[in-house]
């Protein structure tokens, strides 16, 4: 049985630990002791469907947690590095990953073993060969003798992280030598007996694949949001119908064509920006990506204009926000459209009441008492002058509209995710406004 160490227990690292722990010997490491003590109780410190189920299953099979990398945790066949690579002043911040690699190098220089260090964190092209490898070399460590170094970007989505980890659509492995790549391929073939699609390449290509993948999806979203904005000016059009039909073209595909308030989360905004900055640094001006980013930022303004045009003034108005998470099935509000929209609405004088099935605690850390967070969607809607839906939670899809109409001071619905039926709502006497559904 292989021994695996996973350093950095965020969405990627923890999902991987929870899954691999059901198959093999795993130690998860995170420098945040508070998180470790929560995990040791079989609990997750963030909401992610099915994560605790796998966590408990793995812990029963011996999954262990540590709050620092030690020579013991490092005596593994594979050391997956899954620490965060945030953005700082529009550039990727590699401090976490450099610290981890330094620590690994220090420990490795005192023992005789040759683990495969697998970089799963999203890193700008060239990081593995030009930044990580030199750190290991500075400690006198030799590749293929003291360590192997591989890249293995992750494609899981928050909200379906466990599903995506258990059933990855592809596994990409970058490396500079066939033998260590094969070792990881064999490991994955044991973990995934159904034989997943495994693509082998070099480190820098694997790094670019990750950015290209996220940037392409972000491009699709900005594209459909542009079409939605066009529809907004063309009475009778419906962006959902357009997305449905173009999505039938297998060359386009039907996913990531839902118009909305723009993409958020901890990945797309950060990765598109990091790729733009990286491209500029190597002398290429990525006009398309600049436009993708700009279109996404403008989408917030489009949503605000929808509200302003219909309510005229926001001064003293009570607006209900349903959903603060950046998407459904997560309590993550990082870069969520709700953040800038709520800020703008309060600046314009509106009072905000909000509800999210899972993201209330995280919303409280950002907004404190500046907005009123309620325990149910109905409590949030009471006396509202307008309802703005921002996250497409299942629980929001079929409310009792009769009840809403009675509860609201002004029955107007701004459907930021196009989840309601406009015809039905208009028949019921609501003023309904969707995105690109004129
Ligand atoms: C994204 C990628 O989809 C993953 O493949 C990748 O591994 C991950 O980033 C990462 O780099 O770690 P994630 O950010 O978790 O995953 O969530 P997505 O489901 O991609 O959603 C991103 C944003 O796009 C959300 O704000 C979502 O609401 C928005 N979106 C998505 C739409 O507005 N419309 C759609 O049709 C789909």
Tens place of pLDDT per residue across the chain (438 aa): 899 999 999 999 999 999 999 999 999 999 999 999 999 999 999 999 999 999 999 999 999 999 999 998 899 999 999 999 999 999 899 999 999 999 999 999 998 899 999 999 999 999 999 999 999 999 999 999 999 999 999 999 999 999 999 999 999 999 999 999 999 999 999 999 887 899 999 999 999 999 999 999 999 999 999 999 999 999 999 999 999 999 999 999 999 999 999 999 999 999 999 999 999 999 999 999 999 999 999 999 999 999 999 998 999 999 999 999 999 999 999 999 999 999 999 999 999 999 999 999 999 999 999 999 999 999 999 999 999 999 999 999 999 999 999 999 999 999 999 999 999 999 999 999 999 998
C-alpha span between 69 and 48 (Å, rounded): 26
Q: Report the nearest-CA residue for atom 35 of ligand 1.
A: 256
The answer to whether 272 touches 292, Cβ cutoff 8 Å, is: yes
State the closest ligand 1 atom to the C-alpha of 213, by its place in the atom list counted from 1: 5
Q: Report the nearest-CA residue for atom 37 of ligand 1.
A: 256
**DSSP label at residue 238:** B
The token pair at 263 is: 């993409």
Neighbours of 372 (CB within 10 A): 15
Question: Tell me, what's the pLDDT at 193?
Answer: 82
State the closest ligand 1 atom to the C-alpha of 271, by its place in the atom list counted from 1: 11
For residue 29, what is the enclosing H or E element? strand 25-29
State the closest ligand 1 atom to the C-alpha of 225, by its place in the atom list counted from 1: 33
C-alpha span between 229 and 436 (Å, rounded): 6
C-alpha span between 45 and 37 (Å, rounded): 10
| φ, ψ (nearest 5 deg) of residue 431 | -90, 120
Question: Tell me, what's the pLDDT at 85?
Answer: 96
Residue by residue, DSSP assigns 330-382 as ----TT-HHHHHHHHHHHTT-EEEEE-SS-HHHHHHHHTTSSEE-SSHHHHHT
- Cα 77 to middle of ligand 1, angstroms: 32
Q: Which residue has the tokens 């001064």?
A: 315
- Cα 157 to middle of ligand 1, angstroms: 6
3-state SS assignment for residue 80 = strand
The crossing angle, in degrees rounded to 10, of helices 51-60 and 11-20 is: 50
- Cα 102 to middle of ligand 1, angstroms: 32
The answer to whether 247 touches 257, Cβ cutoff 8 Å, is: yes
Question: Tell me, what's the pLDDT at 438?
Answer: 83
3-state SS assignment for residue 64 = strand
Q: Report the nearest-CA residue for atom 18 of ligand 1.
A: 157
pTM beyond 0.85: the answer is yes
The token pair at 106 is: 């220090």
Scanning 62-194, the segments in alpha helix (DSSP H) are 71-74, 95-108, 127, 133-138, 161-166, 178-191
For residue 276, what is the enclosing H or E element? helix 268-281
The token pair at 211 is: 């950015």
Question: Tell me, what's the pLDDT at 7?
Answer: 98
Entry field: residues in the chain: 438
Please name which of 7, 2, 3 lies closest in space to residue 65, comparing C-alpha atoms.
7
Residues with CB under 6 A from ligand 1: 122, 154-158, 214, 217, 221, 256-258, 260, 263-265, 267-268, 326-327
Please list the active-site residues: 267
Please name which of 1, 195, 4, 15 lies closest in space to residue 116, comparing C-alpha atoms.
4
């Amino acid at each position: 049985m292989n021994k695996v160490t996973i350093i950095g227990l965020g969405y990627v690292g923890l999902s991987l630990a929870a899954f691999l722990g059901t198959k093999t010997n795993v130690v998860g490491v995170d420098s945040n002791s508070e998180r470790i003590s929560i995990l040791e109780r079989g609990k997750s410190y963030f909401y992610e469907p099915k994560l605790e189920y796998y966590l408990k299953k793995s812990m029963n099979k011996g999954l262990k947690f540590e709050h620092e990398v030690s020579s013991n945790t490092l005596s593994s066949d594979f050391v997956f590095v899954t620490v965060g690579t945030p953005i700082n002043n529009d550039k990727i911040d590699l401090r976490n990953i450099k610290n981890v690699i330094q620590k690994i190098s220090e420990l490795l220089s005192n023992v005789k073993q040759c683990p495969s260090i697998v970089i799963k964190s999203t890193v700008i092209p060239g990081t593995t060969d030009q930044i990580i490898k030199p750190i290991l070399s500075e400690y006198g460590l030799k590749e293929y003798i003291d360590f192997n170094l591989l890249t293995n970007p992750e494609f899981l989505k928050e909200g379906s992280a466990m599903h995506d980890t258990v059933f990855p659509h592809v596994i990409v492995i970058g490396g500079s030598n066939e033998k260590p790549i094969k070792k990881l391929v064999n490991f994955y073939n044991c973990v995934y007996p159904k034989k997943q699609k495994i693509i082998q390449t070099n480190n820098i290509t694997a790094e670019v694949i990750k950015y290209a993948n996220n940037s392409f999806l972000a491009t699709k979203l900005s594209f459909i949001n542009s079409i939605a904005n066009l529809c907004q000016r063309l009475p009778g059009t419906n962006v959902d119908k357009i997305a449905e039909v173009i999505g039938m073209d297998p060359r386009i595909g039907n996913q990531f064509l839902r118009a909305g308030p723009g993409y958020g989360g901890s990945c797309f905004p950060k990765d598109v920006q990091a790729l733009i900055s990286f491209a500029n640094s190597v002398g290429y001006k990525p006009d398309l990506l600049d436009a993708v980013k700009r279109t996404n930022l403008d989408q917030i303004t489009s949503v605000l204009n929808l509200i302003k045009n219909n309510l005229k003034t926001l001064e003293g108005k009570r607006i209900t926000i349903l959903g603060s998470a950046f998407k459904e099935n997560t309590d993550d509000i990082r870069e969520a459209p709700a953040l800038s929209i709520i800020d703008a609405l309060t600046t314009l004088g509106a009072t905000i009441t909000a509800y999210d099935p899972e993201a209330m605690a995280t919303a409280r850390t950002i907004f404190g008492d500046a907005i009123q967070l309620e325990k149910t969607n109905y409590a949030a809607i009471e006396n509202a002058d307008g309802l703005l839906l921002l996250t497409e939670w299942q629980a929001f899809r079929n409310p009792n509209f009769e009840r809403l109409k009675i509860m609201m001071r002004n029955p107007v619905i701004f459907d930021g995710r196009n989840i309601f039926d406009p015809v039905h709502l208009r028949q019921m006497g609501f003023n309904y406004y969707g995105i690109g559904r004129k």
